[in-house]
Amino acid sequence: MSNAVALVEQFSALLDLCGGVDWSALSDSEVDEVLVRGFRQVGRFTGTVLLPLVREAEARGLASAHDAPDMRAWLQGSVNMRPAEAGRLLRLATALDSDLPKTAAALADGASASTTRR
């Protein structure tokens, strides 16, 4: 098993643990803090795992291996994305490498609009 696959499995295990958390036991300030940090981590995961994997799958032509006409159709069928959402994700994944390197770095660092609050 590759390191990448093992890391995603570890991430999945951590998410399983989060499913058992009693969020109502947190104070208001803890809810605020965890919520902001959670959104930052969603951005980081998107920027460091999902978007690079979408670019890699597109570069390898994996959609055709699954009898999908293109990556957008593959995303729609495999991960149940709406057509517009799949198109936006593909455009963002492609643009991060060429046109939006600062955005790519910000996602990888967990930056978001909410970071200005702290």
Place of tokens 């998410």: 15
pLDDT tens for residues 8-56?
899 899 989 988 899 999 999 999 999 999 999 888 888 888 999 999 9
What's this model's pTM, rounded to 2 decimal places? 0.76
* Residue 54 burial (CB count, 10 A): 22
pLDDT tens for residues 71-87?
999 999 999 999 999 99
Domain residue extents for the chain:
32-117
Query: What is d(CA 108, CA 69) in angstroms, rounded to the nearest whole number?
Result: 30
Expressed in percent and rounded to 5, the helix, strand and coil fractions of the chain are: 80, 0, 20
Query: What is d(CA 43, CA 59) in angstroms, rounded to the nearest whole number?
Result: 23
